[in-house]
Amino acid sequence: MVQTIGELLPFAARRYGDKTALVVDGRSFTFNELDALASAFANGLVAAGVEPGDRVTLWGPNSWQWLVAYYAIAKTGAVLNPVNVMLTPEEVEYIVKDAGACTIVASADKAPALMDMKGNTGLSQVVIWGDKSPAGATPFDQWLRGARTFTPRPRKRTDTGAICYTSGTTGHPKGAVQSHRALVACAQGTALMQARTTADTVVSPLPAPHVYGSAVYNASMLVGATLVLLPRFTEEGVLEAIQQNRATIFDCVPTAYYYLLAYPKLSSYDLSSLLRCTVGGQTLPAAKSLEWTERTGGVPVQELWGMTELCGPATGNPHWGDNKPGTIGLPMPGTFCKIVDVDNPDKEMPQGERGELMVKGPLVMDGYAGNDKATRETVRPDGWMHTGDIATVDADGYYTIVDRKKDMILTAGFNVYPAELERVLCMHPAVALAAVCGVADEAKGELAKAYIMLKPGASASGRELVEHCRQHLAAYKLPRAVQFVANVPVTGSGKIMRRLLKDVDDGTRAASEQRQTRAG
C-alpha cells in the first residue's frame, strides 16, 4: 500500500490506468498520462540537482501544471513547499528563505518577481509554466520532453513530506512540518469518511496549496476518482462543472455555500448527480447546511475540520453514519480528540462543556520548521496538540466548534463567540452571509459587531436582526452594531478574515442601503 506521497501517483496509474484522473482548464488527463508527465518533470528536477530532503517551493494558481509539479517533487524525495497563490513576492521570499528552498516552480505571472528574488535567496533554479519564460528561468515544458519513466526515490514514512505555512495572522507565518505518514493518513481518512470511490467525480475550486485542497486531490488519486479542478470559485463555474461532469461530490468552504445559496440561477442547474458535499475551513451554520440540502433535493453537507498543523481534515461527519449539521463530526481513524480547560490543559472538561480542542495521532505535525519555541507551545511532550479552537463534545462523540480562541470577544467579562452569533444570524431568512468580530468599547472592553450580506431582493433592518438574535441568545451575546455590506474580506482559501472586518467600508452598498444600527 502507499507509504509516501511520492508513491501515490504511480500507485494510482498502476491501479486505474487509462481512467480519467483530472479535468482542468478544458483538458483531461488519465492516471497514466498524469504519472508520465510527473515522471518527466521529476527527471528534470533531478538533472537540475534536486536531492532527497531538498525543499522545492510551488507557487501558482490551480492548473494541471501545479499537480504535475506536486507529484514530481514528491517522486524525487524532495520536500514539498506549496505556497498560497495570493501571497506577495515579499511574503514568498520570506517563506523561501525560512524553508531553505533550492528550487521554485511557478506560473508565468510570478516570473518577474522571482528573477529578482533569486539573487536574494538560496534559489538555484526557477522553473516557469505558461506562455513566456524570462531569461534565466527554465521553461516548464522543456522538462516534459524528457524520459517519462521515473522510479520514486525511497523515503521513510517518518521523513518530512511537506512544509506548509500558516496564514500568518500575527507576525511571520510558521512552517508546519508534515511527515509522509501524516500526508498519506490524511488522504486515507478523507476518502474513508466521505466513502470516496473510483465511481466518484469530484468538483473542487479549493486552492491546491491549501491542506483541504491537498486532502481532496490526494484522496482522489488514492481511490481513483475523477477530479474536476476549477481555477477559482465562481457560482456559475461551480454549477456548470457539477452539471456538465455529472459530479457526485462537491468540496468547498462555507463562503461558497453562502454565495451559491444566494445565486439567483441556482435552481436552473441540474445538480441531480450530487450525492454528498463537504465543507471545511470555517464553521458552516446548520441553517445554511440544511438549506443547501433542501434546495438540492436532499444532498447532505458533511462538515469536516482540520488545520495546517494537522495536514488537513482531522475530523468529519461520516457518509455511512449520522450526519449532524453544525458539528465537525468524529475523529479520523487513528486520531484522538479531547476537550480541556482553556487555562489548564491537564483538566479534561465534562461532556457538553466548552473548552479547548486538543488532538493526538498520526496527523499531528512534527513541529514548526526552525521554531522550537512555537513547537513547544503547540505540541506537548505527550503528543497532544493545542488547536486554539473552543469546542464541545456530545454523547455520541461528535465535536462542535464554538469558535477560535483568538477570535473570542470579551464583553464586560463575558465570553462571546463570533461563530455562535453567525450561526444564529444565518437562521434569518433574509441573510445570505454573516460575519462577526469584536470592536473596542470604553465601558465593556469589546462589543460584537455583525457584518451582513442580504440575499438578492431580501430586506431586513439591523434592529430586526438583533431582535432575531434575542430570541435565541443571551442578552450579553447580542450584536451591538449591524452593518450591511456587499462583501467581506476572505483569504485565498475562502475563509472570512474577521480581523479585517473593521476595515470594511460603509460605502460597499449604495447610500440608500447603508444603515448601521446600535442595539441598546
More confident of the two residues 436 and 414: 436
Q: Which of the four pLDDT bands, split at 50, 70 and 90, describes residue 413?
A: low
Q: What b/e sequence results for 414-429 when a residue is b if at least 16 CB atoms lie within 10 Å of its CB, and e otherwise?
A: ebbbbbbbbbbbbbbe
Helix (H, G, I), strand (E, B) or coil at 351: coil
Number of alpha carbons in the 13 Å side-chain half-sphere of residue 483: 21
Residue range 118-144, pLDDT digits in tens: 888 889 999 999 988 888 899 999 999
Q: What is the mean pLDDT of residues 444-464?
A: 91
Residue range 289-312, pLDDT digits in tens: 999 999 999 999 999 999 999 999
Position 443 scores a pLDDT of 67
The CA distance from 493 to 475, in Å, is: 34
Q: What are the Cα distances from residue 276, in Å, to 12, 226, 229?
A: 23, 15, 17
Helix 254-262 × helix 286-295 angle, to 10°: 50
pLDDT for residue 387 is more than 80: yes
Give residue 427's Cα distance to chain centre.
Answer: 24
Position 516 scores a pLDDT of 37
H helices of 452-499, where? 462-470
Position 363 scores a pLDDT of 98
Per-residue DSSP letters for 12-69? HHHHHTTSEEEEETTEEEEHHHHHHHHHHHHHHHHHTT--TT-EEEEES-SSHHHHHH
pLDDT for residue 492 is more than 90: no
Q: Which of the four pLDDT bands, split at 50, 70 and 90, describes residue 490?
A: confident
pLDDT for residue 514 is more than 70: no
pLDDT cut 90: percent of the chain above it: 77
Q: Within 10 Å of residue 369's Cβ, how many Cβ atoms?
A: 23
The CA distance from 299 to 275, in Å, is: 6
The CA distance from 346 to 344, in Å, is: 5
Number of alpha carbons in the 13 Å side-chain half-sphere of residue 445: 10
The CA distance from 347 to 344, in Å, is: 6
Residue range 183-234, pLDDT digits in tens: 999 999 999 999 999 999 999 999 999 999 999 999 999 999 999 999 999 9
Beta bridge partners of 385: 359, 379
The CA distance from 217 to 190, in Å, is: 10
Among 185, 184, 180, residue whose Cα is nearest residue 160: 180
pLDDT for residue 493 is more than 80: no
pLDDT for residue 24 is more than 60: yes
Domains of the chain, earliest start first: 29-179 (3.40.50.980), 408-518 (3.30.300.30)
More confident of the two residues 342 and 10: 10
Position 477 scores a pLDDT of 85
Per-residue DSSP letters for 234-252? -HHHHHHHHHHHT-SEEEE
H helices of 426-506, where? 462-470
pLDDT for residue 519 is more than 60: no
Phi and psi torsions of 175, nearest 5°: -90, 110
Q: What are the Cα distances from residue 318, in Å, to 386, 433, 511?
A: 24, 26, 46
Average per-residue pLDDT in the chain? 91
Residue range 43-61, pLDDT digits in tens: 999 999 999 999 999 999 9
In this structure, are residues 329 and 399 in contact, taking their beta carbons and an 8 Å threshold? yes
Q: Name the one residue in this structure whose C-alpha cell is 492516471.
A: 31
Give the pairing type, strands 20-24 and 27-30. antiparallel
Q: What b/e sequence results for 221-238 when a residue is b if at least 16 CB atoms lie within 10 Å of its CB, and e otherwise?
A: bbbbbbbbbbeebebeeb
pLDDT for residue 509 is more than 90: no
Position 171 scores a pLDDT of 60
Residue range 473-487, pLDDT digits in tens: 878 789 999 999 999
Position 505 scores a pLDDT of 59
Q: Is 146 exposed, middle or buried (0-12, 13-18, 19+ CB in 10 A)?
A: middle
Phi and psi torsions of 337, nearest 5°: -130, 155
In this structure, are residues 129 and 107 in contact, taking their beta carbons and an 8 Å threshold? yes
pLDDT cut 70: percent of the chain above it: 95
pLDDT for residue 507 is more than 80: no
Give residue 262's Cα distance to chain centre.
Answer: 22
Q: Which of the four pLDDT bands, split at 50, 70 and 90, describes residue 91?
A: confident
Residue range 58-81, pLDDT digits in tens: 999 999 999 999 999 999 999 999
Stated pTM of the model: 0.84
The CA distance from 5 to 182, in Å, is: 10
Q: Which of the four pLDDT bands, split at 50, 70 and 90, describes residue 515?
A: very low
3-state helix, strand, coil in the chain (%, to 5): 35, 30, 40
Position 255 scores a pLDDT of 85
Beta bridge partners of 494: none
